[in-house]
Structure 1
Amino acid sequence: MAEPPEESSGGLTTGAVARRLGVAPTTLRSWDRRYGIGPAVRADGRHRRWTPRDVAMLETMCGLTSAGVPPAEAARMAREGTGGTVPTTAAAAREQGTGRSHAAGTLPLGDVRQECRGLARAAVRLDAPAVEELLAGAVAEHGLTVAWQEVMVPTLHAVGRKWASSGDRYVEVEHLLSWHVSTVLRRHTRPPAAPVAGPVLLACVPGEQHTLPLEALNAGLGQLGVPTRMFGAAVPAEALTAAVQRLGPAAVVLWAQARSSASLPLAGHVAATRWGVTGARRRPLVVPAGPGWAGRPTPGMPRPTSLREALDILSGAFGGAAP
């Protein structure tokens, strides 16, 4: 039976609360069953309805478990309203070397979709099932492009900023979140199609390891029916040139996250590569992508600033495959 609308005078549904807090709905049901952290109202005796007081109790529960408090103890403190002193106690324990060292602070998200906040909380708690469910839900609700640009990227950036400002803390959060983003993107990537013309070749420049943006682009192009060849991280220049000559691609995307890895000579060399019979020789459209190319002159090479823009450029280069 489908759940009723998310909000009413009777409160929020379990799904709405799960998205708000970054907790899998199954986790909320488990907490209700095991620890009595449940809704005060059940519509028609079946559907859970969470009141503001219920949600506040859940927020306390999430904060306590993120700080390393065992779930049963966290539930007791949340029910009794005594959870406010725990973060200080946990922090003091960490300073003394006796507490858990897992990072559990607030990520600097700014003005973002509510889904980002829930996803960030789940990632900080290292709650893999919730991260997976929230990412899948974002793609299902908003589509791949919007989910990438407005949910995945802001959360990844927030984790990266927190890691950069906290030494080695939060590295496990970034790794877990990146892994699940990659998993969801690949789940929505269609099998490679046999091209009727040259495919779109996707590659990170030599020395570049950040592949998630290319994975999102690969998935998006697949949904548009544009055939691709994904080469992933740190493709050597010689291997890239050989692939271009063998495949005769319609376009080549060169991703560079860092300015130090964005090589203008490499982009120019790929753009000058030609194939085909004399009199009908062709060359690829080269698309430098990523922040590493910012401020660099790339004449004749479109430089997209978003996934949507990249999809428009590349589907057009392939022959207008985009709807």
Structure 2
Amino acid sequence: MTVAAVASRLGVAPATLRTWDRRYGLGPSGHTSGRHRRYGTKDIARLELMQRALLRGASPADAARYALSAPLPAERAPVEPVSLPVGVELLVSGGRRGAAEDYECDDGEDAPLLISGGDGGPLGISARGRQGGRGLKLPGASRTARGLSRAALAMDADAIQQVLAKALTDDGVVPTWNDVIRPVLCALAERWEHAGVGVEIERLLSEEIIVALSRVIALAPPPRNPRPVLLACVPEEQHSLPLYPLSCSLVLNGVSVRRLGASLPVDALVAAARRLSPAAVVLWAHLPRNADTSVFDALPKTRQRTRLFVGGPGWAAVDLPKHVQYLDDLESGTRRIVRAVLPGA
């Protein structure tokens, strides 16, 4: 197969294949009568091993060493999965980053971009800087965030879950959200704004983030507050993803929550507040047009005090009543809610 044909098959840029050939020796071994080099079956199999290693977070140099030394899939037992050797340095391990030339993520010819496409969709996350080219630019992002971006662009749900599970276990919810998930979501959002394509990648990543955080929530310790915290979006607000890391962070601190999700009608919010008599209510608004303060007046007056919080950029410019507190970020927001509903915490 030609360089172009292999690039199309693997979903990488032809320049990436040339870089792998020049830098790591993963090139075509065959020639045609016209002396044009062609990739054979074994050549492509080794490129696929490298791609799988990259999806699991290995640096390009380590992935190439693995691809060149590992038995090819045809040489394995049919039921045995391809797995990384112990010595492979994982992107998600938080260890030392390899040499800069082994880990370029720009759009130049030498960049080992995983796939040739991959754009994000409309997210409820603030984004900065223009994104272009074939991959996501993540200046200053962690190695784990770069591993997540690779998995997301390849739409590899298993790899996304592996990266997120390890980050959540090793670093916790707040660092994973701030340093791993948000940079990738911001880059995807900016790609969507710039190019207007690729909603499917944003949707897949968002769903996998919810799955990963939900697994953590399911294993959380028993709550210590008898009255739950109610988390919901204001009416018409569709961006509910940030409620999941907040929910996860709260339950890990022993706070019981009830998450009602996106675009909650006012009458449904009132009914839930009457039924649950929550210790606190958190209302999320990403878009300013949805941040309507009249929802505060609609909430029922209960016998026991209910603290009221709001979060999201939609509330940033709103003149809030004195009894409503604005949550600036996940870490401080979690602390404030915990202090409000768990006296002495």
Q: Is the 8 A contact 1:109 1:155 kept in 2?
A: yes
User: 1:151-300 counterparts in 2 under 5 A?
Assistant: 151-168=180-197, 170-190=198-218, 197-270=226-299, 273-276=300-303, 282-298=304-320, 299-300=322-323
Other-structure match for 1:3: none
CA, structure 1 residues 20+116, in 2 after alignment: closer, same or farther (shift >3 Å)? farther
Which consecutive unaligned segments of at least 5 residues does structure 2 have? 1-51, 75-84, 90-97, 118-131
Structure 2 residue 334 is matched with structure 1 residue 311:
yes
Equivalent AA in structure 2 for residue 67 of structure 1: S
CA, structure 1 residues 18+190, in 2 after alignment: closer, same or farther (shift >3 Å)? closer
SS at 1:274's partner residue? coil
Q: Give the Å deviation of 1:31.
A: 9.1
Q: Is the 8 A contact 1:226 1:321 kept in 2?
A: no
CA distance in 2, matches of 1:186, 1:30: 38
Q: Give the Å deviation of 1:212.
A: 1.5
SS at 1:230's partner residue? strand
SS at 2:217's partner residue? coil
Equivalent AA in structure 2 for residue 156 of structure 1: L
Q: Is the 8 A contact 2:55 2:151 kept in 1?
A: no
User: 1:120-139 counterparts in 2 under 5 A?
Assistant: 120-139=149-168
Q: Give the Å deviation of 1:249.
A: 0.7
Equivalent AA in structure 1 for residue 250 of structure 2: L
SS at 1:252's partner residue? strand
Structure 2 residue 89 is matched with structure 1 residue 67:
no
CA distance in 1, matches of 2:275, 2:156: 44
CA, structure 1 residues 190+165, in 2 after alignment: closer, same or farther (shift >3 Å)? same
CA distance in 2, matches of 1:111, 1:198: 41
Q: Is the 8 A contact 1:225 1:321 kept in 2?
A: no
Please list the CA deviations of residues 243-302 of structure 1 after superposition, one character each: whole Å capped at 9, or x if unmatched.
Answer: 1112111100001111111111112433xx3123xxxxx331110111110111112211
CA distance in 1, matches of 2:314, 2:282: 13
Q: Is the 8 A contact 1:20 1:117 kept in 2?
A: no
Which consecutive unaligned segments of at least 5 residues does structure 1 have? 1-13, 37-45, 69-102, 277-281
CA distance in 1, matches of 2:218, 2:313: 27
Q: Give the Å deviation of 1:196.
A: 5.0
**TM-score w.r.t. structure 2 length?**
0.64
CA distance in 2, matches of 1:151, 1:56: 17
SS at 2:242's partner residue? helix
User: 1:8-87 counterparts in 2 under 5 A?
Assistant: 18-19=56-57, 21=59, 32-34=70-72, 47-48=86-87, 55=102, 63=112, 66-67=115-116
Other-structure match for 2:13: none
Quote the sequence identity (%). 31
| Larger helix share, 1 or 2 | 1
CA distance in 2, matches of 1:64, 1:312: 39
CA distance in 1, matches of 2:225, 2:102: 54
Q: Give the Å deviation of 1:148.
A: 0.9
CA, structure 1 residues 218+47, in 2 after alignment: closer, same or farther (shift >3 Å)? closer
Q: Is the 8 A contact 2:225 2:254 kept in 1?
A: no
Equivalent AA in structure 2 for residue 300 of structure 1: H
CA distance in 2, matches of 1:231, 1:243: 9
Q: Is the 8 A contact 2:223 2:254 kept in 1?
A: no
Please list the CA deviations of residues 19-64 of structure 1 after superposition, one character each: whole Å capped at 9, or x if unmatched.
Answer: 3559xx8xx679943389xxxxxxxxx854678699579x999947
CA distance in 2, matches of 1:18, 1:316: 39
CA, structure 1 residues 268+231, in 2 after alignment: closer, same or farther (shift >3 Å)? same
**TM-score w.r.t. structure 1 length?**
0.68
Q: Is the 8 A contact 1:108 1:162 kept in 2?
A: no
CA, structure 1 residues 220+196, in 2 after alignment: closer, same or farther (shift >3 Å)? closer
Structure 1 vs Structure 2 CA RMSD: 3.7
Q: Give the Å deviation of 1:127.
A: 2.2
